[in-house]
Each structure stands twice: as C-alpha cells, then as structure tokens.
Structure 1
Amino acid sequence: MKRRLACGCLLPLFSALLPGQAGAESPDPAGQRAAASPQYEAAAGRFRNPDNPQARASASGWAIWSRFLLAKKEGTVPIDPIPVRPLDRTSLDALDNASSHVIRLGHSSHMLKLQGQWWLIDPVFGERASPFSWAGPKRFHPPPLPLEQVPPIEGLILSHDHYDHLDVHTIEALKDRVRRYYVPLGVGRRLREWGIPADRIEEFDWWEERRAGPVTLTAAPSQHFSGRTLWDRDSTLWASWSVQSGGMHIFYSGDSGYFPGFKEIAARLPPIDIALMENGAYDDYWPAVHMSPEETVQAFQDLGARTLYLVHNSTFDLAFHTWHDPLERVAALAEARNIDLATPEIGEVLTVGKPRQNHRWWEGLR
C-alpha cells in the first residue's frame, strides 16, 4: 500500500512540528503538580525535554507528512508469519514466584511476574496503533495471550500517551483487573476520562520513587514527546521506568532519542540487570525522538546494564526501515562488542538473571 496513515506516535509527531499547536487544549493540562515540575514550561503550557545541544533537528512537518502520504514503503511489513509462542494461564501460573520474569507481548508491551505478582508495561492488545479501528498501523501478529486470559494485575505502568503505548481498548477491557496504574504526570487525566477511578492512579514526575509492596518504582527521564491529537502536543509527560523487585533491577527506556540522560540514570540508580531498550521506528526525519540501532547500543552501554533486551519492533509498521533492520543491526553490534543480547520471540518468557541462549528468530523470514 503506497499511502499510509501516520498514526502511533507519528500523527502527533507531525502536528508537533506545526507552529502554534502546543498546549492548545489546556494551559495546565497536568493540574497543579505540573506547575512545580522542572519538566513543565508554564508559559507555553507544555512539558519539555532537557536541553540537549547534540540533539539533531527533525525535518519539517510538511516534509514528514508528505513522505508518509506519498513515499513507497518496501520491506516494512513481514511477508512470512512472525513466530508467536502462545501463552495461557496455566503456563503463567507455573512460573516460579521467587524469580522475576519478563514476557514479551509485542512491540513495547510486556508482562512481568515479580514476587508472584503480575504487572503490565505499555499493554496494547488492540488490532491497530491508531485512533481509528479502520485505518492505521495494523499488528503483524496476534497477542500471544488472549486479553480475556490476562491475570489480575497488581500494577500497570505507562511510559507515555502515544497510541502504540496507550490503547483505550486495552485499558477499558482490563479496568476491573488492574489494581493500580503508574503513569507520568498528566497521563492520569487520560485514564480518568476512560473510567478509571482517580484513587487507583499514581502520577510521577521524573526521579520520583515509590514502593508498591515488594516493588520499587522510579520514573526516570527520556527524550521524547506526547500527544494523541493535532492539538495536545506535550500536554502530558513521558518517562522511562526503573522496576526493582527481589534483588533484580529491570529498566525500561520507553520511547526516547539518544541523550545524556542515560548516563545520569546509571549514576543515580542501582546497577541494572536487564535494560528493555527502544529499537525501532527511527528515521533521519525525526532523529531526536527515536534511537537508531547504533544509538540504542550506545545508550545501553551508557546505562552499564548487564543484558540488552530489544523492544519497540516486530509488531507495527511505524517508519521506513525494513521490519527486521532493527534486530539485524543491533545483533551485529552486540556480537562485535560482546554484549549479552536478548531478542525474545513474541510470547517468550525471560527469567531475569538466569542463563539463556539467544535466538535470531527473524533470520530467514521475509
């Protein structure tokens, strides 16, 4: 298909590059806490990234929009089926409660089993990463676990409000099974609009840390943006997340361009056992908000983590690189630099700290 609708994080990306759109919905969209946040620019009515003189500028909104409407894509959608390991409640319940498990659901969606409790990160079970049911990036594969079989969730973590990370269908379907929601500043308003009680939502600014039973959560910086329409650019905050439980430390980058904040995260947080790092939807037209494979590897090395786990690929067509390019380039770099790499199949369970043999499952697929 030659013409494609720019959705996921790309519809807001285009609108964000137009003058006069930022913060148009509300002068203080995150409420009173926003005014006290170092990330909030009150005069503009929006959140902002830290200063980064090395960040490369994006192309104009017109150039990005025109490219998505007119350019021909090649190899961005797999021809052969993506391998999926089916999951069910019996196999999930059998996982050792004393260990920390990471289960890949697709794109950036993950389920964690921490000290016997279930957590979700950026769950998207919907068919499209889009505001529309009839258009926009469509899944390459079904979720490995049917939505109706998702167990009771102790905590649901969101990194930001783009459609490929925050799916209203999923939120509404799970609202009676999720105990608490942990989100960046302003994202709580989205959830309340969809019927989630306010007393079940906890909003975080960067570097805020809270305990949730045996789990310690810290919202950390990332270099990205937010918005779900043409008029709400940066009205909510974005974040990476630190999740500590049972002596294990899991880091999730969320969406981010490469920035000095990765070194600051390494300096301020305990050693990271496994880093779930964004690797996909990058392009020279928007270099500051998504990392190239080479930048993903550099960010991982800045973090000083033990294992590099790739996310944000293999589920939705959100850019112009081939669907397997993120995996191939990072795998080659990891081999050259002797990095412990995890590229799990969809539905695969990774037990943090336990030996495993990595498999390049995409090789040979068209």
Structure 2
Amino acid sequence: MSQSISAQSLDHSTLHHNVQGFQNVGMQPKQAGSFFGAMKTWLTAERNQPKPQVELPVHSIDMDELQATEQDRVYRLGHSSMLLKLDGQLILLDPVFSERASPVSFAGPKRFHPAPTSLEQLPYIDWVMISHDHYDHLDKASIKALKNKVGHFVVPLRVGDYLRDWGVADDKIVELDWWQSFKVNGIEVHATPTQHFSGRCLLDRNQTLWASYVIQSSRQNIYFSGDSGYFDGFKAIGERFGPFDLAMVETGAYSEQWADIHMLPEQSVQAAKDLQAKAMLPIHNSTFDLAMHDWYEPLERARTHAAALIQALVTPEMGQGLDLSNLPAQTPWWHAYMPAEAQTTGELAVSR
C-alpha cells in the first residue's frame, strides 16, 4: 500500500478565523437562545415518546464478512457514527461507543440501543474522521481505545490537540481547515464548511473548528455533514464536488430555537438536494435524546419531505450493511416502534 500523503489548500479563506477562535461566515448563531428559554421549552414540551419503549432493531456486524467483501459498504452504528468500506479501506466517522454522550459516565444522554459492534471487535481502521469536538461526536473513551489500530485521524483545526492529550501519535493526526484536502492510498478527503460551533465546556467556546467532509474513492463520492444549520454552503459544496452517490446529512436533535446550528428535517432534505445527492441517509437521530422532539420524528419528517421533493432516501436499521453500488429504497422501519396512536392515526406531533 502506498504511504504517500499529500495535503493541499483548495481555496483557503481566513474569514472564519478571528482572534477569539473560529466563527461561521456571514452570521453568528443564537445557539439555542437564552438558557432559561431553552429550559422552559424542554420542561413544557409535549412529546409522545422521547425514547423508544421497546428495543430497536440492531444488526451485529460480521467483521469477518466485512473484511472479506469487495463491495463498498456503509453501516449505521448509531447517532452520527458511521462505518464505511471504500476501496478495501475501513473508515469510521464520528465514532461514539460510550454509553452516554456526556463528559461523565454516570449522567447525561444515554443510548437507546447497543452499538452494532464493540471497539474490541473492530479490526484495523484506515481512517477515523471527526467533524467537531462535541461529546456526541468526539468521544474520549472511543479515541483512546482506537488509537493503536488506526492509520490516520482526520480532524478540523485544533481538534488534534485533544487527540494528542489522549495519547494518539502526532504522525497519525491530520488537521484540516475548510477547503483543505488530504489523500492517501487512493482515497481523498476534503474538509468543507458547516454552520455550527464548538466547545466541550463553558470556557472553550469556538476554540476548535467544525467541518463536514467529502470522501472520494475510485468508485464512490460520499458526503458527511457533521452538524450544521441550513446555509448556502451546501449548494457551494454540491457545485464544487457533486453530484454525490450518498450524502449522510444531520437530521435530528433540532428545534426552531436553534435551527441556525441544527437543521430541521425539511431543511436537511433541501440540503441533500443542494448537494446534488443521488441518495440521502439521515443521521444524528435514533440513539440519544438531545432535543424536544419524539425519537422517531426526525426520520418521519424527513421521509415525508423527501417524498415531496422527490429526493431518494436511504434509512438502514442500526448495523445493517448496505452495498453502496446498489442502495435500496428507504424502509420506514421505525413505524413498527412508534406509539400505537401514531401508527393508527398517522399523526405526528411536530416539535417547535
């Protein structure tokens, strides 16, 4: 395998850098409004089912079969954690294997379902890619467990400092700014903008960059959104790098109070259209309770709007492997796990 590595700037701009850290271009997000307003909404929100009341379907991933197949494949591991096989290489996106998306193990949002595989079962991983430093995307325990069996960690600017503190070798870490790229062994990754923010405590707001990724192999052109509000960057990315065979787009943990940093499902589908995605896979849902909507609402609203916009949707169950060269039509698997009244009436309580 070739070990030649190249990194180049495609269109480097410093508009998103300032003396305090990083910022979005053209706007500053409200980031959920006031604390008291957000708490009031959380406490008074009417929800049918914040968490599933029965076990959700989870497929155990056969690692021997995964390593043996020559297919390009995609697996949902939960929330925004994804496993790809492209050109024989394994890529992990935002791996979160911990029980909670939290700075502590005893409190915070808890998983609805187990991961389809364990950290111990994972074979050698060629790439780990992190979109930003929030706890539901950058998981310290997962990184520490993976550090000795990963070829390269690709992260936005300054996120690499966390990895170094957690024992990841410096020569494994590639930090990218927006519109920069990295290529090794025939796969090229481009870091692209999102409209979001960063920080793991109250004192480090926006000290690291946030990003989405374009992943290009010999047969596939893939997009991974990370977290973002809806913005014109999706169209710019689509014009530069599209069309995409698959776009994994954030669809969950939203509210109209913070729509500038977390898209509503209808905006997520429009983002897929802007990206020129042949198929959209909704991520950032069905694993943690992080907002004021029912657990199944993101998928159902995306399904409805995708039908209206004639956008192909792919909705695998957790751990279900899909052949990227022959993606199936979406299956609304969540219908069987929704509350009985929602299944009977077809009503959907939309959070605001």
Provide the rounded CA distance (Å) in 1 between the counterparts of 2:158 and 2:329. Answer: 40
Residue identity opposite 1:183 in structure 2 = V
Alignment counterpart, residue 305 of structure 1, candidates 257, 268, 277: 277
Q: 1:65: how far off?
A: 4.1
Name the counterpart of 2:25: 50
Provide the rounded CA distance (Å) in 1 between the counterparts of 2:308 and 2:14. Answer: 41
Provide the rounded CA distance (Å) in 1 between the counterparts of 2:116 and 2:240. Answer: 35
Provide the rounded CA distance (Å) in 1 between the counterparts of 2:246 and 2:58. Answer: 22
Q: Deviations over 1:226-254 (max 9, x none)?
A: 00001100000000000000231000011
Name the counterpart of 1:113: 85
Q: Secondary structure at the match of 1:148?
A: coil
Name the counterpart of 2:289: 317
Name the counterpart of 2:96: 124
Gaps of 5+ in 1: 1-35
Name the counterpart of 1:16: none
Provide the rounded CA distance (Å) in 1 between the counterparts of 2:232 and 2:250. Answer: 16
Name the counterpart of 2:127: 155
Alignment counterpart, residue 39 of structure 1, candidates 4, 16, 32: 16
Distance 1:337 1:100, change over 3 A: same
Which segment drifts farther, 349-358 or 255-264?
349-358
Distance 1:179 1:347, change over 3 A: same
Provide the rounded CA distance (Å) in 2 between the counterparts of 1:143 and 1:225. Answer: 27
Mapped contact 1:40–1:46 kept (Cα < 8 A): yes
Provide the rounded CA distance (Å) in 1 between the counterparts of 2:142 and 2:298. Answer: 26
Name the counterpart of 2:189: 217
Provide the rounded CA distance (Å) in 2 between the counterparts of 1:57 and 1:226. Answer: 11
Q: How does 1:6-45 map to 2 (within 5 A)?
A: 37-42=14-19, 45=20
Mapped contact 1:111–1:118 kept (Cα < 8 A): yes
Q: 1:164: how far off?
A: 0.3
Q: 1:89: how far off?
A: 1.6
Mapped contact 1:243–1:250 kept (Cα < 8 A): yes
Name the counterpart of 1:256: 228
Q: 1:90: how far off?
A: 1.7
Q: 1:224: how far off?
A: 0.3
Name the counterpart of 1:172: 144
Name the counterpart of 2:69: 95
Number of aligned residue pairs: 326
Considering only aligned residues, what root-mean-square deviation do their CA atoms show, in Å?
A: 1.8
Distance 1:270 1:330, change over 3 A: closer
Residue 183 in structure 1 maps to residue 155 in structure 2: yes
Residue identity opposite 2:25 in structure 1 = P
Q: Secondary structure at the match of 2:336?
A: coil
TM-score (normalizing by structure 2): 0.89
Mapped contact 2:159–2:175 kept (Cα < 8 A): yes
Gaps of 5+ in 2: 1-12, 339-352
Residue 136 in structure 1 maps to residue 113 in structure 2: no
Provide the rounded CA distance (Å) in 1 between the counterparts of 2:279 and 2:316. Answer: 12
Q: Deviations over 1:8-63 (max 9, x none)?
A: xxxxxxxxxxxxxxxxxxxxxxxxxxxx8432111xx110001049x777421332
Mapped contact 2:313–2:329 kept (Cα < 8 A): no
Q: Secondary structure at the match of 2:175?
A: strand
Distance 1:73 1:201, change over 3 A: farther
